Amino acid sequence: MADSNLVIRLQGHISAKSEQYLKDAYAEAVPKGVKRLIFHFDDSTSVNGAGIAILTQLVLDSEKQGIEILMAGVPENFKRVFDIVGLSRRVRFYDTMEDACKAV
C-alpha cells in the first residue's frame, strides 16, 4: 500500500474521551504502510486542551514512523492554537478535504 493515505474524520468534541478512538485509528494506519494521515475537521468540531495534547502526540508519533500529517477544514482559531503549541511547524493545513487530497 505504498504512498497511501488515510482520512480520519473529526467531528464533535475532541477531548480525553476521544483518545482511544484516535489512537486506534492511528494504530491501524501504521502497519498498513500509510504514508499520509489526513485529519478532516467537520464544521462542528471543537477541541479542548486534552484533545490538542492527543493530536500533538499523534503528530510526534507520526514523525517517528515517517507518516506525514495533513489537516483539512481547520478553523482559524484552532490554527492559532496549533501554532502556539508548535503543530503548525509539523503539519500542512488545507482549507478543504479536496485541497488536501489534491496536494498529495
Return the amino acid letter for 93. F
**CATH number of residue 48's parent domain:** 3.30.750.24
Is residue 31 pLDDT above 70, yes or no? Answer: yes
Q: Look at residue 2 in the predicted model and tell me its pLDDT.
A: 46
Rounded to the nearest integer, the mean pLDDT of the chain is 89
Measured CA to CA, the distance from residue 21 to residue 66 in angstroms comes to 21
Average pLDDT over residues 51-61: 92
Q: Are 76 and 65 in contact (CB under 8 A)?
A: no
Work out the pLDDT band at 103, boundaries 50, 70, 90: confident
User: What's the number of domains the chain is made of?
Assistant: 1
